[in-house]
Structure 1
Amino acid sequence: MVTMKEIAKQAGVSVSTVSLVLNNRDEGRVRDIVANEVRDIASQLGYRSNPLASSLRTGRTHMLGFISEDVATTPYAGGMILGAQRAAQQLGYMLIVVSTDGPRNEAEEIAALKRYGTDGFLYAKMSNRIVTVPEALKDTPLVLMDATDGTGETASIEPDEFHIGYDATKRLLAAGCERIAYVGAESPIVAERGRMEGYRTALAEAGRSVNERLIVHVGNNEPALAAVNELFDAAQPDGFFCFNDARAWYVYECAARRGLTIGRDISVVGVDNHRVFADTLVPQLTTVELPHFEMGYWAAAKLVSIIEERSLADMDWPDTAAPLPPMNTSTPAAIHCALIEKDSVRK
């Protein structure tokens, strides 16, 4: 097995210098040119760190806990977990994922992860919301995903909800839509409020007054379909911004009943880039893609930066659909989501 002593001898530096570099503690202590040479030599020699020895030396296990109540059972879990896992792996950490049933067993799962010596935690929600940080997580490095601490004290990452609504509405305006409806969510969560504000702002900037008759807030199933059906008859919109892709389906259904062609007679923009709807709706739905991979990646990197008390300025960031905010962004950090052009908006 290749040792640090062998790497130090070939690089012409001390073992302590090699240790600083290979344990990612070289920033401000070792010149970049030397650190890069040490990493190159370690890679060429096939060096592999010893996690047990490292944990005994540093007091860290290099394990991160991923806690979620409902993320792991949703279609978006893969992207968020993959992003967190990718960043953790790149930084020399292992990710352990657990799903809870809410407060009932949340504390038990957190305690179990702590017994394994996890260095910090990622706490994830879906549909961006304000959360109260569990007591069991208040004494450990922590980053929230798709959620914001009500006190504003905990690092967090979320979609830029305002620009989701703003960009979607601007796209409909650019398509020449005159009566743009908003099909929103029933629950006044952070995502709903932000997207609604973006919708209103885009209209105002275009010199359009907001017509409240063009706004509906719906839940699911028959009541939602009935509400959108009534919206068609009462206000005759020619453009629709929908809170998510699922609600866009109601617009497609109501348009079909009236013999209207999506992308020609009316234009529709959703949110999610949900794989089921993306593969089912005809024509394909123009949508704003939520940054699940990006949130996971940024959150894990941020958590490691907190644990190791370093900026990660030398980290190689992946190419992503949505640009990642800097590590020093104030809380909550927001990711400007990508608008995915398909066929449901007039060209």
Structure 2
Amino acid sequence: MVSLKDIAKQAGVSVCAVSLVLNGKYKNRVSDTTAEHIRETAASLHYEPNMLARTLKTNKSHTLGFVTDEIITTPFAVRIMLGAQEAARKLGYILISMNTNNDKSLERQEIATLKRYHADGFLYAFMYHRVVDVPSVLRSVPTVVVDAEDAKHDLPSIFPDEFGIGYDATNRLIKAGCRRIAYFGSESGIIAQPQRLAGYRKALHDAGMNDDPQLIVRATEHQNADERAVDLLKVAAPDGVFCFNDVRASSIYAAANELGMTIGKDISIVSVDNLPNITDALRPGLTTIELPHYEMGFEAVCQLVAMIEQRDKPDIKPDQMFRSSFDTDDTFTTMHGSIIERDSVQNAPHGNE
């Protein structure tokens, strides 16, 4: 078994430095360059920490509970869990996932099970952005809310910048030269709808353009979207459309095809989600804003470990480059989406996908 002494000898540093780095407590004591060298050396020697010894010494299990409504069964939102897993692995923690299927009784049971196994902290995660009442049992332990907002504004919460998404999508169309920009929105009551609409309106206002009520249309996802998309293009005659999500963008594609319009020439389209099952099927390719699911999961674990270990947030980097940035106040963190450029916008730049 590889020991800390073996790593120290190979890396040319002290055993104390190795211990600090591998336990995530090196901030202001070991340089980032040396810390990375130590981690690389440990990996090359196939070092595996003795978790039982660590637990007995610190009274910490180095286990994180990931309690979710239905993320595990949702292809696009599962990236939250993948980001969380990577951060947990880099910080020496194990992530245990529990799917509740929106069953509050099952949720209580799963949280109780994780607490019996001495989980050090919890991620309370959701498939889409909403305000949530966090169970009281989670308020007494380190907990971070993911893709949702704590209704009491007490717990750290990480979620997409919906206003910024609406603003950026609309601004992309403005920069492409569009002057009659429509918003094809949602009839659902979720947070994203009014906030993305507000971002759309602000972008128009900043560009000196008025929002025409005729250009704002909402539709359900499955029942009337195709019909309303045709009406929008025929009656309002937009030259650009910001779609609430990729599903609604597919309805605009169908309507444009029915009306003999060429997407990317007669009309430009920007959407939200970047769902492969939709974007891979649409021609021309759909320019869309990717929600920061992976980034939210990664950042959530970093914040949670900082709470558990009562220290500054760990300075670790993901293996894949983050597409999005974020803003943080005392409690809430909003993460920006990133535009994935394809060919549905007139004069769209290439090579950023």
Query: What TM-score, normalized by structure 1, do the two folds share?
Result: 0.91
8 A contact 1:298–1:324 mirrored in 2: no
Q: Which residue of 1 aligns with 2:219?
A: 218
Q: Does structure 2 conserve the Cα–Cα contact (< 8 Å) formed by 1:143 and 1:302?
A: yes
Bigger Cα displacement from structure 2, 152-161 vs 216-225: 216-225
CA root-mean-square deviation? 2.4
Paired position in structure 2 for 1:275: 276
Q: 1:101-144 CA distances to partner (integer Å, 9 max, x unpaired)?
A: 22131101111111111111111112211111112211111111
Say whether residues 1:322 and 2:323 are aligned partners. Answer: yes
CA distance in 2 between counterparts of 1:233 and 1:335 reads 36
Alignment of 1:261-272 (within 5 A): 261-272=262-273
Following superposition, the deviation at residue 38 of structure 1 comes to 6.3
Whole-Å separation in 1 of the counterparts to 2:58 and 2:146? 27
> Cα gap change, 1:214/1:45 in structure 2, threshold over 3 Å: closer, same or farther?
closer
> CA separation in 1, counterparts of 2:296 and 2:172?
24
Distance 1:201 1:281 in 2: 29
Shift of 1:226: 2.0
Q: Quote the Cα distance in structure 2 between the aligned partners of 1:232 and 1:31.
A: 58
Cα deviations by residue, 1:146-179 (Å, 9 ceiling, x for unpaired):
1111121111111111111111111111122121
CA distance in 2, matches of 1:302, 1:12: 29
Query: Within the alignment, does 1:113 sit opposite 2:114 as a pair?
Result: yes
Q: Does 1:287 align with 2:305?
A: no
Q: Judge which range, 146-155 or 314-323, deviates more.
A: 314-323
CA pair 214-298 structure 1, distance change in 2 beyond 3 A: same
Offset from partner CA, 1:214-242 (integer Å, 9 cap, x none): 11121122322222222223211121100
2:182 is the counterpart of 1:198: no
Q: Which amino acid aligns with 1:264?
A: K
Which secondary structure state, in structure 2, belongs to the residue aligned with residue 126 of structure 1?
coil
The letter for the 2-side match of 1:252 is Y
| Distance apart, 1:309 and its partner CA | 1.4
TM-fit CA distance, 1:28:
4.6
Task: Find the counterpart in structure 2 of residue 64 from structure 1.
Answer: 64
Correspondence for 1:130:
131
Give the Å deviation of 1:313.
5.0
Further displaced range: 266-275 or 176-185: 176-185
In structure 2, what is the Cα distance between the partners aligned to 1:40 and 1:124? 31
Q: Residue type of the partner of 1:72? A: I
| Partner Cα separation in structure 1 for residue 24 and residue 4 of structure 2 | 14
- Distance in 2 (CA, whole Å) between partners of 1:249 and 1:42 is 49
Match for 1:130: what amino acid? Answer: V
Q: Which residue of 2 aligns with 1:22?
A: 22
Distance change (3 Å), C-alpha of 1:268 and 1:41: closer
Q: Say whether the 8 Å CA contact 2:270–2:287 is kept in structure 1.
A: yes
Task: Name the structure 2 match of 1:181.
Answer: 182
Question: Aligned to 1:168, what secondary structure does the other structure show?
Answer: helix
Contact 1:288 1:338 in 2 (8 A): yes
Matched residues in 2 for 1:43 and 1:176: separation?
51
Q: CA deviation at 1:37?
A: 7.6
Alpha-carbon distance in structure 1 between the residues aligned to 2:240 and 2:34: 58
Deviation at 1:318, TM superposition (A): 4.4
Q: Which moved more, 1:46-55 or 1:295-304?
A: 46-55
Q: Does the CA contact (< 8 Å) of 2:88 and 2:301 recur in 1?
A: yes
Q: Which amino acid aligns with 2:168?
A: D
What is the SS of the residue equivalent to 2:95? strand
Q: CA deviation at 1:9?
A: 8.0
Deviation string 1:252-291 (CA, Å, 9 cap, x unpaired) is: 1111111111111111111001001111111111100111
Deviation at 1:45, TM superposition (A): 5.5
Query: Cα offset for 1:96?
Result: 0.8
Map 1:85-164 → 2, pairs under 5 A: 85-102=85-102, 103-164=104-165
Q: Which amino acid aligns with 1:127?
A: Y
Which residue matches 1:239?
240
- CA gap of 1:313–1:134, structure 2 versus 1, over 3 A, is closer
3-state secondary structure, aligned to 1:217 = strand
Q: Does the Cα contact within 8 Å between 2:120 and 2:308 map onto a contact in 1?
A: yes
Give 5+ residue unaligned stretches, structure 1.
none
Q: Identity of counterpart residues, as a percentage?
A: 47
Contact 1:178 1:238 in 2 (8 A): yes
Q: 1:91 is matched by which residue type in structure 2? A: L
Rounded to whole Å, the distance in 2 between the matches of 1:65 and 1:19 is 25
Aligned counterparts of 2:259 and 2:8: Cα–Cα separation in 1:
75
CA displacement 1:48-67 (0-9 Å, x = unmatched): 31001101111111111111
Report the count of equivalent residues: 345
**Farther-moved stretch of structure 1 (313-322 vs 296-305):** 313-322
Helix, strand or coil at the partner of 1:57 = helix
- Judge conservation of contact 2:246–2:271 (CA < 8 Å) in 1: yes
Tell me how far 1:19 sits from its aligned partner.
Answer: 3.9
Q: Is the 8 A contact 2:186 2:221 kept in 1?
A: no
Residue type of the alignment partner of 1:57: K
Residues 109 and 12 (structure 1), Cα distance of their counterparts in 2 relative to 1, 3 Å cut: closer
Q: Which amino acid counterpart does residue 309 of structure 1 have in structure 2?
A: Q
Question: For the residues of structure 2 that align with 1:194 and 1:272, how far apart are their CA atoms?
Answer: 15
Letter in 1 for 2:189: P
